[in-house]
A and B are shown apart, each in its own frame.
Chain A
Amino acid sequence: MAGLKAQEYAFLVLAVIGSISAIAVVLARNVVHAALYLVVTLLSVGGVYLLLGAEFVAWVQILIYVGAIVILFLFGLMLTKAPIGRDTLDHQNRWIGGLVAAGVFVGLVFLVQDAFRVQDAVAAPTFRTTTSMVGKSLFRDYVLPFEAVSFLLLAALIGAIVLARKDDVA
């Protein structure tokens, strides 16, 4: 295994921060703290995208995840009761979940190690993509999924309004 490059050091820092805060999301006793740890995780994932050369995806990640989805979560937490404490937030038999999650992690690490062999992996040159490349690819090769996603977003918009509306208004 050759020495680490500067980008790999940056990646390791981001990965450690992201992993710790991802674990904190699922272990936090306070729901608002969990949402804020989620912000840290999403930001570090965005940084990983930048390091991988996916500039547009990184900014979309920060705009949509950090900007919109986490705000939605905070709204959801404020509109419902936000209890504090592990006993009210977690199942009593959470050790089964821990067991399954540990099994998934060990299995995935074993699979990755088996398939890609971290000790003789070589770093490929970074595939830098610009926004114009993303746009060309999106509207040339991926038009059909794009339209499907726009239809899905419309359906979700209408569905959310119908679901959350108070019945006595209608």
Chain B
Amino acid sequence: MIRLPFVLFFSALLFSAGVYGVLARRNAVMVLMAIELMLNAVNVNFVAFGSQLHQMGGQMFALFVIAVAAAEVGIGLAIVILLFRNRESINVDEVNLLKW
């Protein structure tokens, strides 16, 4: 019963907030949080279009995205903790060992 463009505007705003967070933050955990915001925006779109088209596929892929997001956060935080153990800092702009 919700008109589709409203939901799409909401998800556009979530996605843009995530883009800003990924680009502007230095702290690796904050970057991961911003990535979660973007994944949520995608999920909102999936569910909204699935609801609009009366198909289950949207919800299915939203569930898969949630599972992949959980895996991603687990690995991401493991890397962050490893980074902190080795460098005493999790600022992403100080990790430049492989940068030419």
Contacts and interface: CB of A to CB of B under 8 A. Distances in A.
Contact of A145 (B59, B64, B78): B64
A25 B33 contact: yes
B99 interface: no
B23 A52 contact: no
A163 B79 contact: yes
A22 B11 CA distance: 11
A8 B43 CA distance: 19
A59 B67 CA distance: 13
B29 A122 contact: no
Given A72-B73, A89-B26, A54 B47 contact: yes
B6 to A, nearest CB: 6
B100 to A, nearest CB: 20
Given A38-B36, A88-B26, A104 B77 contact: no
A77 B33 CA distance: 11
A124 B72 CA distance: 35
A23 B41 CA distance: 13
Contacts of A25: 17, 21, 33-34, 37
A74 to B, nearest CB: 10
Contacts of B22: 97
B95 interface: no
Contact of B6 (A8, A42, A45, A61): A8
Contact of B27 (A48, A49, A83, A146): A83
B14 A11 contact: no
A17 B59 CA distance: 23
B1 A5 contact: yes
B21 A91 contact: no
Interface of B: 1-10, 12-27, 29-30, 32-34, 36-37, 40, 43-44, 47-48, 50-52, 54, 56-57, 59-64, 66-75, 77-82, 84, 88-91, 93
Interface of A: 5, 7-8, 11-12, 15, 18-19, 22-23, 25-26, 31, 34-35, 38, 41-42, 45, 48-49, 51-54, 56-57, 60-61, 64-65, 68-69, 72-73, 75-77, 79-81, 83, 88-91, 94, 96-98, 100-102, 104-105, 108-109, 112-113, 116-118, 121-127, 129, 133-134, 137-138, 141-142, 145-146, 149, 152-153, 155-157, 159-160, 163-164
